[in-house]
Amino acid sequence: MSECFWGWSMREDLRKNGESGGFVSSLIESLIGDYDRVISVRKTGTVFEGKVVDLKDSSDVKGIQGALHSLCINMSAYIKKGMRTAIVLKPCDAKAVIENMKRNHVDRGDVLLIGLNCGGTLSPVNTMKMLDVEYELRPDEVVKEEISKGNLIFFTEDNEFSKSIDELEESGYGRRESCRYCNYKIPSVCDIACGNWGTPAGGKVTFVEIFTQKGEQAVRSAVEMGFVSVEAPSEKLVMVRSKINSSMKKLARSWKGKVLDPIMELSPIDRLNYITNTLSPCIGCYACRKACPVCNCTGDCKCLQMDPDDVLPIPQYHAVRLLHLMESCIGCGNCTDVCPVDIPLARLHQLFAKAYEDRTGYKPGMSADDVPPLSRGDIPEGH
Amino acid sequence: MSFEPRIVAFLCNWCSYGAADMAGTSRIQYPPNVRVIRFMCSGRIDPNFVLEAFLRGADGVMMTGCHIGDCHYIDGNYKTANRYEFLKHYLDILGIGADRLQLEWCSAAEGLKFAQSVTAFTERIRALGPNPLKEGGK
């Protein structure tokens, strides 16, 4: 079941200043009071900085930014069991929430997931370097960034600067690596997915796709209370949206072919050497374990009991994590972001996860009822 | 010096350890390359133990347990079977190779089967050569 609308805010200031009609801001404003926590992101200073906020009343809503492309944060960590939470998140956050539901850390009934379409996020440090080298801009000049039609566009007060994202990424800038080969752009596991794909140019509206009854209820009550307004989208632009989605997915496939497939095509010995060498700078800080949204054993966590100073060819800590995440890595890239010695951990985890997906067809983070093929407790085939 | 495989074998207490015992008391010959570690159940074999064996230089790892349906703890070996399949995928992607891991169901009466599977596995590892993680002086 899924229904599509164009939606916009009824508050003049939000409609004018909001990214695309302020629909998400007004929708979450309508949810304050209904939920224990209403969580989103607010810009602080430049577009490269922001913080997570828990909205308490209508005055908090101003300045809420649904999508901050350069804020690498996993929103799923802000959902606490037993608290009714409405949260705005990107597709990989949503997959993390689903994985947490499987592990009984989150109840489906407690959360309202408002997803945002996502074409990829940017690493702040790399982006500032790129602004300097490629765009010749200062970070504080930038008022808005956007990925559109294969271009990465930065807006200043009175001008816009656009460059091909392919060329940027070839030279090492652009989106984070895990975003380049991520092929999940519209968060269909959420209750509602919002975005600016498939909206008329300059129309100041948000394209809203509703997937669940709960999402429908939330939008309907927001309309009834006069927070937002919706109308049916034109058929042509619905097509445009799905076209954008499929072209993004095509790009993701070609990136997977450039990053992951060459490693898989190595001979087993070379692949083993690649993995061993990539992991060798590890200093055993466990930051990747702490930043991982799906890895959340508490108390007697086995990984943390491994000796960080073992002299094994692959640190046993990583050997176990590669094993565990083979069926649950959602590819959010947080591990790469936090690594102090810049090990491309997400690439390794995705290498295992994607290969496992190709072999078994199992995709993590897609449904809370999906159980990984070899964790069902029955006898596997051939035994 | 020719290559002698070093194989770690995880045996369950109730069936496969009995099988190894049976092979011994029946004077059945099998290669001395296996180092036997006894578990109360094959379901206790944490994938981590298998990984550690490889990381510490084992050329091959054998997991053995009671036949499906015969587990002393009813369904312990279902878990073994699942973990074995999962580990095979993992070792394959990692590059060590799924061939270096073997799962064998041996009842306490199958001393001959135990000896034969150890012999066959040792020969397989001998053909595969040393554990690739060991090269480089480890």
Q: Mutual orientation of helices B76-94 and A268-279 as an angle, nearest 10°?
A: 90
Summarize pLDDT for A16-56 with one digit per residue, the tens: 877 678 899 999 999 999 999 999 998 887 888 888 999 98
| Residue B68, domain CATH | 3.40.50.960
CA distance A216 to A193: 11
- What is the distance of C-alpha B124 from the center of its chain? 13
> Are residues A167 and A102 both part of a single domain?
no
| Residue A90, domain CATH | 3.40.640
Closest CB to A268: pick one of B81, B89, B95: B95
> Are residues A241 and A102 both part of a single domain?
yes
Domain end point (choices A217, A247, A277): A247
Q: Mutual orientation of helices A345-360 and B76-94 as an angle, nearest 10°?
A: 120
> Are residues A189 and A338 both part of a single domain?
no
CA distance A356 to B1: 39
Is A94 within the bounds of a domain?
A: yes
Is B91 within the bounds of a domain?
A: yes
CA distance A43 to A68: 8
Is A344 within the bounds of a domain?
A: yes
Q: Which residues of B touch A351 (CB under 8 A)?
A: 93
Is B92 within the bounds of a domain?
A: yes
State the complex-level ipTM.
0.93
Which two structure tokens, joined as six digits, stand for A93? 């956050």
- Contact predicate A21/A7, CB 8 Å: yes
Closest CB to B90: pick one of A268, A269, A323: A323
Q: Which residues of B touch A312 (CB under 8 A)?
A: 52, 55-56
Is A253 within the bounds of a domain?
A: no
Q: Are strands A160-164 and A192-195 parallel, antiparallel or unpaired?
A: unpaired
Choosing among B42, B84, B86, B92, which should be mutated to test the A contact, i.e. which has the most A CBs within 10 A?
A: B86
Average pLDDT over residues A361-370: 93
- Contact predicate B5/B32, CB 8 Å: no
- Contact predicate A17/A234, CB 8 Å: no
> Are residues A102 and A222 both part of a single domain?
yes
Residue A380 contacts B where some CB pair is shorter than 8 Å: yes
> Are residues A293 and A188 both part of a single domain?
no
Residues of B with CB under 8 A from a CB of A: 47-48, 51-52, 55-56, 68, 75, 78-79, 81-83, 85-87, 89-90, 92-97, 105, 132-133, 138
Is B135 within the bounds of a domain?
A: no
Q: Is the pLDDT of residue A68 over 80?
A: no
Identify any residues that bridge with A138 across adjacent strands, giving them in sequence order: none
Domain end point (choices A216, A247, A278): A247
Summarize pLDDT for A145-176 with one digit per residue, the tens: 888 778 888 888 888 899 998 889 888 888 99
Q: Mutual orientation of helices B47-55 and A316-325 as an angle, nearest 10°?
A: 140
Q: How many domains does chain B have?
A: 1
> Are residues A57 and A165 both part of a single domain?
no
Residue closest to A19 by CA, chosen among A93, A112, A130, A116: A116
CA distance A355 to A378: 23
Is B2 within the bounds of a domain?
A: no
Supply the pLDDT for residue A47: 80
Is A77 within the bounds of a domain?
A: yes
Supply the pLDDT for residue A211: 96
Determine what percent of chain A is predicted with pLDDT higher than 70.
99
Q: Which residues of A touch B87 (CB under 8 A)?
A: 323
Supply the pLDDT for residue B138: 43
Summarize pLDDT for B30-77 with one digit per residue, the tens: 999 999 999 999 999 999 999 999 999 999 999 999 999 999 999 999
Determine the structural domain holding residue B91 and report its residue range.
7-128
- How would DSSP label each residue in A230-248? EEPPPHHHHHHHHHHHHHH
Share the mean pLDDT of chain A. Answer: 90
Question: How close is the nearest chain A Cα to the Cα of B24, in Å?
Answer: 27
Is A222 within the bounds of a domain?
A: yes
CA distance B54 to A22: 56
Closest CB to B55: pick one of A273, A319, A355: A319
Is B30 within the bounds of a domain?
A: yes
Closest CB to B68: pick one of A271, A355, A379: A379
Supply the pLDDT for residue B135: 66
Supply the pLDDT for residue B137: 40
Is A252 within the bounds of a domain?
A: no
- Contact predicate B87/B61, CB 8 Å: no
Summarize pLDDT for A289-330 with one digit per residue, the tens: 989 999 878 778 888 888 777 788 999 999 999 999 999 999
Residue closest to A112 by CA, chosen among A228, A34, A220: A34
Q: Is the pLDDT of residue B134 over 60?
A: yes
Share the mean pLDDT of chain B. Answer: 94
> Are residues A196 and A291 both part of a single domain?
no
User: Are the beta carbons of A314 and B132 separated by less than 8 Å?
Assistant: no
Summarize pLDDT for A101-131 with one digit per residue, the tens: 998 999 999 999 999 999 889 888 888 889 9
Q: Are strands A160-164 and A151-155 parallel, antiparallel or unpaired?
A: antiparallel
User: Are the beta carbons of A272 and B133 separated by less than 8 Å?
Assistant: yes
- Contact predicate A107/A101, CB 8 Å: yes
| Residue A142, domain CATH | 3.10.450.750
Residue A361 contacts B where some CB pair is shorter than 8 Å: no
What residue in A sits closest to B138 (Cα-Cα)?
Answer: A313
Summarize pLDDT for A226-276 with one digit per residue, the tens: 999 999 999 999 999 999 999 999 999 999 999 999 999 999 999 999 999
Summarize pLDDT for B74-107 with one digit per residue, the tens: 999 999 999 999 999 999 999 999 999 999 999 9
Domain end point (choices A203, A223, A247): A247
> Are residues A311 and A230 both part of a single domain?
no
- Contact predicate A6/A219, CB 8 Å: no
Radius of gyration of chain B (CA): 14
Is B138 within the bounds of a domain?
A: no
Is A254 within the bounds of a domain?
A: no
Determine the structural domain holding residue A280 and report its residue range.
260-375
Q: Is the pLDDT of residue B136 over 80?
A: no
> Are residues A265 and A312 both part of a single domain?
yes
Is A383 within the bounds of a domain?
A: no
> Are residues A100 and A211 both part of a single domain?
yes
> Are residues A222 and A323 both part of a single domain?
no
Q: How many domains does chain A have?
A: 3
How much helix, strand and coil, in percent to the nearest 5, is found in chain B?
A: 45, 15, 40
> Are residues A265 and A233 both part of a single domain?
no
CA distance A320 to A324: 6
Run of H or E including B19: helix B16-25
Q: Is the pLDDT of residue A377 over 90?
A: no
What residue in B sits closest to A317 (Cα-Cα)?
Answer: B48
